[in-house]
Amino acid sequence: MIDENQFFREVTLRISSSLEIEEALAETFDYLQHFLPLEIISLNYYDPERAAAYTTASYSVDKGAVRFEEKAPLFRMDETTIEKLRREGASVDRKHVVRIFNQPQSDPIYRAFARFHNDLGLSSFSYVMLRLDIQANYQGVLLLSARGYDAFSEEHARLIQIVEEPIAIAMSNARRYWETLRLKDQLAEDNRAMHREMENISGNQVVGADFGLRQVMELVRQVSPMNSPVLLQGETGTGKEVIANAIHMASPRREGPLIRVQCGAIPDTLLDSELFGHEKGAFTGAVQTKRGRFERADGGTIFFDEIGELTLDAQVKLLRVLQEQKFERLGGAQTLSVDARVIVATNRNLQELVQEKQFREDLWFRLNIFPIHLPPLRQRKEDIPALVQWLTDRKSREMGLPEQPMLAPGAMDQLLAYDWPGNVRELQNAIERAIILSRGKYLTFPHIGSRPMAEGAAEAAGKDDDFPSLDRVTSDHIRHALSLAEGRVQGKEGAAQLLGINASTLRARMRKLGISFGRKPR
């Protein structure tokens, strides 16, 4: 006499022993063969959206454990068979979830099962089907097969029905596990694709790497393979984030995340939560556990932009992470370890901040291991032509323009003559504005480098409430015409012709307004 409770327990332990369902089936087979005539055990499911049945995993005496990729269906069903099975399924109550096929030739899906059984070594067979409710849209089936006909009895069917629930749960868990692995692989591939895109955008396209930034890129090549902290120093807009990305993409951590922290944008009250995360219930509104920036950067790089904006309290906590590679979530007692490379950037003089007691000296020493200074754009004007070309191409594509606009004659000389106090960011904004105003024509920069804008704009604005004087408007207009004419005053396509006045009249106005003559007006 079989102890049903013991039978249920033993089957449950075996079918749930592993998320690798083929291994769990093998364990279950070894136990069930003491009570049933078995040659093959398999888990299958029917997908109504694809009108096809698929085998998830099987175990047979001849082939052992097999996990199926579920790409090719076990069989597809025509509408007649689908409707027949639907009617049968609707009429089946809980007492008849098991069906015996001792003479399976009459079953409508016998041919499909016959092919499956032949592949696993059985030419003639009987089988028992146990229906499994695994998911809302899927109907699962446990298939128990034996060699020959008339192999199964009603007692066998009753016995296998006892373990319907644990088998259904095990199959459902296995499917969810595989779906999780699939999504994980998909996420990893998306992450690799994102890294490739980042590399194409900036990692391998540091404009000026062979000219004005040659020394900077040499330092990048030296430090990238290391794990040492890097301190990027330079004026606002010099491209510190681009260099941080280049270091990450050239390092062994390139497959890991690059997490950015804008130090001045995080309120003091949220800083601990943002950097180190928090546990559920750590404070009002903490409805779930949150991973902080350091935890998300594990295996990759964390980039602190404007590190000089961190409070002294936050500097203490950052120093501990740098020294020990350990931290605790807000409201948590467990110490977590992190493996993240730290890159920081600032446009401020940290050494002066240390002297003013606004920046911790020990943190300064810890960060100043490998400083890299990025020169301002005015000190590397040889990069401006390449930057203009790259930025124009990029902005044109972002705006969906059919073709890239060209610079007006003399415009490049004008851009080279300007000192660019806002560095590359200012240049980018100037190009974007020029593209918007060009309306498909040549790119011009009428206000870049002009004296009224560069030197007298603030004074004029204060006196005239931002309303330009007539002389200022006239001067700007003449300078613009001279720029388009490449400095020519008279002749074909000269500034006088563009303005529609006599060349001598134009020269007289230029003298009055203090505009110098020549091919390259200042």
pLDDT at 90: 43
The answer to whether residue 111 scores a pLDDT higher than 90 is no
DSSP secondary structure of 72-119 = S-SEE--HHHHHHHHHHHHH--GGGSEEEESSGGGSTTHHHHHHHHHH
The answer to whether residue 156 scores a pLDDT higher than 70 is yes
pLDDT at 478: 85
Which whole number is the average pLDDT over 219-247? 91
The answer to whether residue 24 scores a pLDDT higher than 80 is yes
Q: Is 142 exposed, middle or buried (0-12, 13-18, 19+ CB in 10 A)?
A: buried
pLDDT digits (tens, 9 = 90+) for 309-336: 888 888 888 898 888 888 888 888 888 8
What is the spatial distance between Cα 125 and Cα 135, in angstroms, rounded to a whole number?
Answer: 29
The answer to whether residue 411 scores a pLDDT higher than 80 is yes
Q: Are 401 and 362 in contact (CB under 8 A)?
A: no
Residue 130: name the closest of 36, 2, 20, 10 by CA. 36
Q: At what angle do helices 4-15 and 21-32 cross, to 10 degrees?
A: 150
Q: Which amino acid is at 295?
A: E
Which whole number is the average pLDDT over 79-100? 57
Neighbours of 364 (CB within 10 A): 17
The answer to whether residue 455 scores a pLDDT higher than 50 is no
Banded pLDDT at 223 (limits 50, 70, 90): very high
- Domains of the chain, each with CATH number or no CATH: 4-178 (3.30.450.40), 204-375 (3.40.50.300), 378-513 (1.10.8.60)
Banded pLDDT at 92 (limits 50, 70, 90): very low
Element of type H or E holding 66: strand 64-67
Banded pLDDT at 456 (limits 50, 70, 90): very low
The answer to whether residue 449 scores a pLDDT higher than 90 is no
Residue 427: name the closest of 480, 472, 461, 383 by CA. 383
pLDDT at 67: 75
pLDDT at 269: 78
Which whole number is the average pLDDT over 61-77? 70
Banded pLDDT at 93 (limits 50, 70, 90): very low
The answer to whether residue 264 scores a pLDDT higher than 60 is yes
Full-model pTM:
0.54
pLDDT at 211: 67
pLDDT at 32: 92
pLDDT at 199: 54
Q: What residues pair up with 98 in beta bridges, in sequence order?
A: 130
Which whole number is the average pLDDT over 41-53? 77
Give just the sign of the alpha carbon dihedral 426, 432, 437, 438.
Answer: positive
Token pair for 87: 């009617």
Tell me the helix, strand and coil percentages in the chain, rounded to 5: 50, 15, 35
Banded pLDDT at 106 (limits 50, 70, 90): low
Which whole number is the average pLDDT over 142-154? 86
What is the spatial distance between Cα 220 and Cα 244, in angstroms, rounded to a whole number?
Answer: 9
The answer to whether residue 442 scores a pLDDT higher than 70 is yes
Residue partners of 265: CB distance under 8 A and separation at least 6:
none
Average pLDDT, whole number, for the chain? 80
Token pair for 209: 């790497």
Banded pLDDT at 302 (limits 50, 70, 90): very high
Which whole number is the average pLDDT over 437-457? 64
DSSP secondary structure of 286-313 = --S-B--HHHHTTTSEEEEESGGGS-HH
Which whole number is the average pLDDT over 14-36? 90
The answer to whether residue 149 scores a pLDDT higher than 70 is yes
Which whole number is the average pLDDT over 148-173? 88
Banded pLDDT at 375 (limits 50, 70, 90): very high
The answer to whether residue 219 scores a pLDDT higher than 90 is yes
